[in-house]
Amino acid sequence: MNTESAQRAFELYVEELSQWGKRAHKHNFFEIVYVERGSGFQCINEHEFAYSAGNIFLLPPLDCHSFRVKEPSKFYYIRFTDYFFTGADNMAQYGDWFERISYVLANYNRIPGDIISTERERNFIIENIKTVHHEYTVSDGYSHAIIMGIVASILNILARSIETRYVVDAIDSD
């Protein structure tokens, strides 16, 4: 199985696809995927889940995944390594925070598919993904700090959604 490696500590890609041309693969980085439009199926660790416009997925490192596009789809991919938050040029000292939050993010794979708890949180994340895309494109002297702060906010919301679902799932299964 192919394992993709990040070329930089932070990358953002936007792709419009009518079909998925890649084989199932793994990453050595975290990836947030926002589906702006389209539908199909996402395969994570040999389990397939439907996706549609507005879905947001978090792919931890080393999870096997792929997409099967049913309707032409537009994806935003935010890719980052731990070095994005812990590296030497880290202005805001996110290192300790990222160590705590990465445990939740890397070990949540018991929750399949979209992980957002509320529409308010979904709308917040979608708007912020688009802001990150703009800052990534502009890339001025402030962009790195703005992107880091926004991605930290998105990750905090994702972690809260994950923990909320774990607590609900744990209570429901008792």
Q: What token pair was written down for 78?
A: 């935010």
Q: What is the pLDDT of residues 85-140, one digit of tens each?
A: 877 666 556 777 877 777 777 766 555 677 787 899 999 999 999 999 999 999 99
Number of H helices, E strands in the chain: 4, 7
**Strand positions, DSSP E, the chain:** 2-4, 10-17, 25-27, 30-44, 47-52, 56-59, 65-80
Beta-bridge partner residues of 3: 26
> pTM for the full model?
0.82
pLDDT at residue 173 tops 60: no
Local confidence band at 83 (pLDDT 50, 70, 90 cut-offs): confident
Q: Quick one: pLDDT at residue 114?
A: 79
Q: What is the pLDDT of residues 2-42, one digit of tens each?
A: 666 677 889 999 999 988 777 677 788 888 999 999 999 99
Local confidence band at 52 (pLDDT 50, 70, 90 cut-offs): very high
Q: What token pair was written down for 136?
A: 């990534």
